[in-house]
Amino acid sequence: MCGRYTQTSDARTLAGRFRLAKLGVDVPARYNISPGQPAPVVLIEGGRRLALHRWGLVPGWAEDPRVGYKMINARADSAPRKPAFREPFQRRRCLVPADGFYEWRRAGKGKVPIRFTLAGGGLFSFAGLWDEWRSPEGEVLRSFTILTTEANAVVAPVHDRMPVILREDGESAWLDSDAKTHELEALLVPYEPSGMRAREASARLNSGREDHPGLLEPEAPLQPELGL
């Protein structure tokens, strides 16, 4: 499961990291990206380009776009065969730029948000799928989902699933239109736990309306690093 994440780099930084042919859109720093909101994805359209798609995949055949709120994630082990994800898996794969994601750890009667990042910080990408939906009036909606896999040793004490974080050398393979299904599935594995870190974040993340740098820090004194 991945229900909130961060992407705080600007478009030019994204362009350098993901070798974009063109920017396409401007991208503000985001500290609490939530389902149903627009977020940047990298896809192949005349070269690599950056686009804003809505989080929560709406299949092209859907009758109601609200179905996207149930499709913010797709299980890596079943996505190639599920009706909603089968065609996007074969034809419409994307990278979802991020620099952290959140899960909630139980603490007494409440829950504490935990932010997971790479050990050295910085940008990475989730494995994503996208699709295009048209309303009866001709409105076009492009949306995406994030693939998930079993949790590694860093995430497992908090949640049994985690988003698929692609290794940088696997991003081109994920976007390759000629890649075979078995080659793609080989990329969809848990990230090495030694390469990740977990820290508490602000309880104000519980509101999707909150989106500012203060969310990265807990209200209580910060633990240097969680021994999860």
User: Is 45 in the active site?
Assistant: no
Query: Which one of 45, 63, 94, 103 is the catalytic residue?
Result: 103
3-state secondary structure 116-181: EEECCCCCEEEEEEEEEEECCCCCEEEEEEEEEEECCCCCCCCCCEEECEECHHHHHHHHCCCCCH
User: What is the Cβ-side half-sphere exposure of residue 122, based on CA atoms within 13 angstroms?
Assistant: 8
Query: Which one of 2, 94, 171, 200 is the catalytic residue?
Result: 2
User: Is 2 in the active site?
Assistant: yes
Q: How far apart are the first and last CA of the chain?
A: 18
Q: Is 13 helix (H, G, I), strand (E, B) or coil?
A: helix
Residues belonging to the active site: 2, 103
